[in-house]
């Protein structure tokens, strides 16, 4: 079983922020939270990762709660091309288990 | 383009047969990972190699095997194929071998008839 729990689907209006939640209540101190997305059947694309602190890059922001038991991926201005399955995974000790992810649909 | 290449792109074969999938990692990456994604399923981690050595094992069947060669490319061998082995097979690579960002290839779509 995956170490993370995500809602199966979400909708977002184009131009608005998309906030994708992820629960990882059993995360260990040395495990990172990674986010990937998969558009159709293409290879998953790396988005962002973090350990304790919030992170931001050109694609997204990652907010990790202080207890590290959950996180939120924020796409600040979603576009139609952001429609994809988003995977939140916890990686530690070479244990890489992807869950079912969240299917984000961005609507015009 | 992630820099990871996989061949072939598509493969159609029959039950009982054996196939080999090939992956070339990004330049400079020492780790290669293999994943299986069945229809409408999530990604299942199969195995990881780091600089030629097996580093981690996931849900890989005994009928499947992999290796990483001195030039760091990797091959995934699938034998005694069954209908249920039909899936997308992705390869990913990373610089190191531990908690590194992985970059995925475009995948090989295998259809077993």
Q: Which residues of chain A form beta strands (DSSP E)?
A: 9-13, 18-23, 32-38, 45-50, 55-56, 61-64, 70-75, 84-92, 95-96, 102-107
Quick check: A94 and B56 CB within 8 A? Answer: yes
Confidence of residue A65 (pLDDT cuts 50, 70, 90): very high
First vs last C-alpha separation in chain A: 35
- Scanning every residue of chain B, which has its alpha carbon at the shortest distance from the alpha carbon of A96? B45
Quick check: B101 and A49 CB within 8 A? Answer: yes
Q: Round to whole Å and give the CA distance between B102 and B113.
A: 32
Task: Tell me: pLDDT of A97 over 80.
Answer: no
pLDDT in tens, B83-113: 999 999 999 999 987 778 899 999 999 999 9
3-state secondary structure of B105: coil
pLDDT in tens, B29-82: 999 999 999 986 778 999 999 999 999 898 899 999 999 999 999 999 999 999
Which of A45, A91, A101 is closest, CB to CB, to B99? A91
Quick check: B99 and A95 CB within 8 A? Answer: no
Residue of A37, A38, A44, A100 to mutate for B, most B C-beta atoms under 10 A: A44
């Amino acid at each position: 079983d995956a170490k993370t729990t995500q809602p199966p689907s979400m909708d977002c209006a184009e131009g608005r922020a998309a906030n994708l939640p992820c629960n990882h209540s059993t995360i260990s101190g040395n495990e990172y939270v990674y986010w990937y997305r998969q558009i159709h059947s293409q290879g998953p694309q790396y988005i962002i990762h973090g350990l304790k602190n919030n992170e931001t890059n050109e694609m997204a922001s990652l907010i990790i709660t202080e207890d590290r038991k959950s996180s939120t991926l924020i796409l600040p201005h979603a576009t139609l091309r952001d429609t994809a399955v988003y995977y939140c995974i916890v990686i530690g000790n070479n244990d890489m288990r992807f869950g079912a992810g969240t299917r984000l649909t961005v609507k015009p | 383009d992630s820099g990871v290449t996989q061949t072939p792109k598509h493969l159609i074969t029959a039950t009982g047969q054996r196939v080999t999938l090939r992956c070339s990692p990004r330049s400079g990456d020492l780790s290669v990972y293999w994943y299986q994604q069945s229809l409408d399923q999530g990604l299942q981690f199969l195995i990881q190699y780091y600089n030629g050595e097996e580093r981690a094992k996931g849900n890989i069947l005994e009928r499947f095997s992999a290796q990483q060669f001195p030039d760091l490319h990797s091959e995934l061998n699938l034998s005694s194929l069954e209908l249920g082995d039909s899936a997308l097979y992705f390869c990913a690579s990373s610089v190191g071998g531990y908690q590194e960002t992985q970059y995925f290839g475009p995948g090989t779509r295998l259809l077993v008839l």
